[in-house]
Structure 1
């Protein structure tokens, strides 16, 4: 969980270079970073209080958001990972 929080915090300092941006810095992927910064502590405190159903929902949401949504953003044309995986040269 600490690594998820650290990664989400670091991404807030990275400038969006693909797609639209707000304030010449933030893009759609930054919304996911804010979601992680909210959801990880929520899931932790839900587990602490014994609310396993809420903890489970929150962790599934983080998993889907992290792999499917953020992964889709990372593979968009013009991104570094897209170039590495799908480069013609």
Structure 2
């Protein structure tokens, strides 16, 4: 997940449509899917928590991002990728660090 954060921001903020954008976008989307699928195996106390709702959201959003681009619906593609970034990285990251009892929160604040 660590490389997906800056790479995703870079892809979202730089020039669109060229071969470099498509390559970096594919790499970023692959990182997002690896992160989502690996998160299935991360459980707290032997079960799933509310943070796991972001797994299917990320997978579905990644699929929609590709589908909208292939249809040539670039405005929808852009919206979907921003949604993927926020629901796949920003919200789960904040939840992991800010919700009491989460491992990252315990490591951060003790």
**TM-score category of the 2 structures, normalised to the smaller one:** 0.7 to 0.9
Tell me how large the CA RMSD over aligned residues is.
Answer: 1.7
Contact 2:32 2:58 in 1 (8 A): yes
Q: Is the counterpart of residue 44 in structure 1 residue 66 in structure 2?
A: yes
What are the ranges of 5 or more consecutive residues in structure 2 without an aligned counterpart? 1-28
Give the SS at the match of 2:72. coil
Runs (4+) off by over 3 Å: none
Written as runs of structure 1 = structure 2, the 5 A alignment for 1:34-73 is: 34-73=56-95
Kindly indicate which of the two structures has a greater share of residues assigned to helix. Answer: 2
What pairs with 1:8-87 in structure 2 (closer than 5 Å)?
A: 8-17=36-45, 25-75=47-97, 76-87=99-110
Aligned residues: 81
TM-score by length of 1: 0.76
